[in-house]
Amino acid sequence: MTNRLLKILGSGLSLILPEICHSCRKGSAEHPYPICRRCRAEIFSSPSCPLSASGHITGIWSCRPYSGALRECIRQFKYRGSKRMTALFSDLLNSYALENGFEYGAADVIVPVPLHPSKLRERGYNQAGLIADILTGTLAAPVLHRALLKIKATCPQMGLTREMRLENLKGSFAVVDKTRLTGKTVLLTDDVMTTGATLETCADELLRAGAAEVKAFTLARVI
Ligand SMILES: [Zn+2]
């Protein structure tokens, strides 16, 4: 059977059979999200993370702890290209804003944590950029997708301590457009905050380039 035929059969079946939840792989996905009702309830009912700060970042806002159904959704989003999670993240972000106020949005520009070009080619999109695009619809601030670049490919950070991560990331980010950052309050975005090393390294680079203040927003945080 040709791949083309399999594809046609697959899309035909998906019209008849309910879509499996992308998070637990047990329940049926319920429109508009690619996850089931139970996973959705778990994500939306868990308490949001307390406001924090790290290094030179004056405030870090994170929607939910990085665990359970949300962790699985972020993994799917990041590694399996499930861009359909965007609707879920958009609604989570908006409900977080309603619960917590929009102080984090008091920024002049939004800057996503960049991916190295080789990673971007492999993945096809930058998850931090998609989060920035969701935020720009909620907050009155433009996204600068190419103001900050990842200029050095780095080893995977998993399993590294905070100090090792900071060392690993040294010299890996560069600001290419200082004019749009000078004197500005910047809101950095990323999907997950683990130790804060990536956000801090980016913030230091933005401040060195003339930004007045750096805040950060992440969908989830390792607690
Ligand atoms: Zn589920």
Domains and CATH numbers, the chain: 45-221 (3.40.50)
Q: How remote is the CA of residue 72 from the centroid of ligand 1, in Å?
A: 10
Q: How remote is the CA of residue 4 from the centroid of ligand 1, in Å?
A: 30
pLDDT at 104: 75
User: Which pair of tokens denotes residue 158?
Assistant: 């998993």
Closest C-alpha among 28, 35, 134, 38 to residue 89: 134
Q: How remote is the CA of residue 38 from the centroid of ligand 1, in Å?
A: 6
| 8 Å CB contact between 173 and 154 | no
C-alpha to C-alpha distance for 103 and 22, rounded to whole angstroms: 32
| 8 Å CB contact between 220 and 189 | no
pLDDT at 101: 78
Q: How remote is the CA of residue 55 from the centroid of ligand 1, in Å?
A: 37
Q: What is the pLDDT along the chain (223 residues), one digit of tens a residue?
A: 566 766 666 665 556 678 899 999 999 999 899 999 999 999 999 999 999 888 999 999 999 999 999 999 999 888 776 777 889 999 999 889 888 877 777 899 999 999 999 999 988 889 999 999 999 988 889 999 999 999 999 888 888 898 999 999 999 999 998 999 999 999 999 999 999 999 999 999 999 999 999 999 999 999 8
pLDDT at 142: 95
Q: How remote is the CA of residue 69 from the centroid of ligand 1, in Å?
A: 7
pLDDT at 179: 94
Q: How remote is the CA of residue 71 from the centroid of ligand 1, in Å?
A: 12
Q: What are the tens digits of pLDDT across the range 194-206?
A: 999 999 999 999 9
Q: How remote is the CA of residue 43 from the centroid of ligand 1, in Å?
A: 10
| 8 Å CB contact between 143 and 170 | no
122-152 b/e (C-beta count within 10 Å ≥ 16 → b): eeeebbbbbbbbbbbeebebebbbebbbbee
CA 178 to chain centre: 23
Q: How remote is the CA of residue 82 from the centroid of ligand 1, in Å?
A: 15
User: Across 55-159, where does the E strand assignment appear?
Assistant: 57-65, 109-112, 148-150
pLDDT at 123: 86
First to last CA, the chain: 48
Indicate whether this model's pTM tops 0.75. yes
Angle at CA 186, nearest 5°, toward 136 and 69?
Answer: 55
User: Which pair of tokens denotes residue 60?
Assistant: 């870090």
